[in-house]
Structure 1
Amino acid sequence: MSDHFLRRSLTVAAAATAALLAGCGTVDSASNRLVSAITPYKIEIVQGNFVSKEQVAALEKGMSRIQVREVLGTPLITNLFRADRWDYVFTIKRPGVDPQSRRLSVFFENDLLARFEGDDMPTEAEFVARLDTRTRLGKIPPLEATPAELAKFPGRPKSEQEPSTSAIAAEAPPSTAYPPLNAPSSR
């Protein structure tokens, strides 16, 4: 090989290597943008019993344990060493939303409700409104077409149009006899 050809090949190889190395920064930033745009699926974590303001309002001093359970549901936490206390804890963790946590403690004396204390509970409507984080798109368009709007479209050919009511009445009624589900046994 000639000396000139060897030098030219090395120059081209060095230039190609330099171009590739210079492009690495661009590829890196593009791949970082792509990775940041693609996020893994994060599940919604719900733990405990949701207790609404309406349920707390239904509690009355002197209710039995069974009555309290009917109003609030089964407590999340019961303690063998403190059988006179039930704890209702509710947490929800959703991607992109601050976690919510609520707590209510119910205390019994002689198996009757003595008192209860805890966080200020939301109403059921407030809780549902906080769950719905979808963005509103504005006014919902009407889903019915006026006769003027329907007139803009060409009519269907006669073969595709609905049959007249007289043609429907002339058809035979459907058969009401069906074959047996199991084959008759031969004995």
Structure 2
Amino acid sequence: MQKLITLLVFALLAVSIAGCHVVYVPDVQQGNLLDKTMVDQLKPGMSKHQVLLLMGTPSVSTPFDQSRWDYVSTLQHRGGVINLRTFTLTFNNDTLVRTQGDFFAQDAQEMVKDSKKYHASYPVDETQGDKSKSPDEEKKDSGMDSGTPNPSGGQ
């Protein structure tokens, strides 16, 4: 009986804490996250391949209508209301003819800004860890091009 009462007290405590929103609920973003600069580069007359390279794969492309691509994104802030954003591209014979949608409302711009804060903020030198040397550097290190003998006995 003592264990049952203890279990009920802990269950009641857990439910009351969850009801007060003390428990962390993360933001949930799904779908395509488009950047305004990418969309500004879209021009009528671009091919599907050019659009694919610029924008990435669409969220929705139906096999029954190859002339329409939909980029869809949802954002749910801390378990609240789900915000839905759509951006539709229409093609005619593999050529972009029209764009439409509400993807770049103010909330979507906030999503893009928030996503950038998770990227590396420190300077990254991609060649820092590269141990390979060019043939000229190897000659210089071995002393072959300066005419001095190699310490290992080679010439």
TM-score, normalised to structure 2, is: 0.54
Match 2:15 to one of 29, 35, 43: 35
Contact 1:92–1:100 (Cα < 8 Å) also in 2: yes
Shift of residue 126, structure 1, vs aligned partner? 3.2
Q: Distance in 1 between matches of 2:113 and 2:81?
A: 14
Shift of residue 125, structure 1, vs aligned partner? 5.8
Note closer, same or farther for the CA distance 1:128–1:53 as it changes in structure 2 (3 Å cut): closer
Aligned Cα RMSD in Å? 3.4
Contact 2:61–2:69 (Cα < 8 Å) also in 1: yes
Q: Distance in 2 between matches of 1:125 and 1:104?
A: 14
- 1:104 corresponds in structure 2 to 87
Match 1:126 to one of 110, 114, 120: 110
Q: Distance in 1 between matches of 2:78 and 2:59?
A: 24
Pairing of 1:13-24 with structure 2 (within 5 A): none
Contact 1:61–1:115 (Cα < 8 Å) also in 2: yes
Pairing of 1:70-109 with structure 2 (within 5 A): 70-109=53-92
- Structure 2, unaligned stretches of length 5 or more? 1-7, 117-155
Contact 2:27–2:79 (Cα < 8 Å) also in 1: no
More helix by share: 1
1:83 is matched by which residue type in structure 2?
Q
| Matched residue count | 106
Shift of residue 32, structure 1, vs aligned partner? 5.0
Note closer, same or farther for the CA distance 1:130–1:36 as it changes in structure 2 (3 Å cut): farther
Q: Secondary structure at the match of 1:36?
A: helix
Cα displacement string for residues 90-146 of structure 1 (whole angstroms, at most 9, x for unaligned residues):
1122325543321011011111101111114158863344669xxxxxxxxxxxxxx
Note closer, same or farther for the CA distance 1:79–1:128 as it changes in structure 2 (3 Å cut): closer
Q: Secondary structure at the match of 1:61?
A: coil
Note closer, same or farther for the CA distance 1:131–1:97 as it changes in structure 2 (3 Å cut): farther
Contact 1:53–1:122 (Cα < 8 Å) also in 2: no
Note closer, same or farther for the CA distance 1:60–1:74 as it changes in structure 2 (3 Å cut): same
Q: Secondary structure at the match of 1:54?
A: helix
Q: Secondary structure at the match of 2:104?
A: coil
1:61 is matched by which residue type in structure 2?
P
Q: Secondary structure at the match of 2:49?
A: helix
The answer as to 2:39 corresponding to 1:63 is no
Note closer, same or farther for the CA distance 1:35–1:76 as it changes in structure 2 (3 Å cut): same
**Structure whose alpha-carbon radius of gyration is higher:** 1
- 1:164 corresponds in structure 2 to none
Percent identical residues: 34
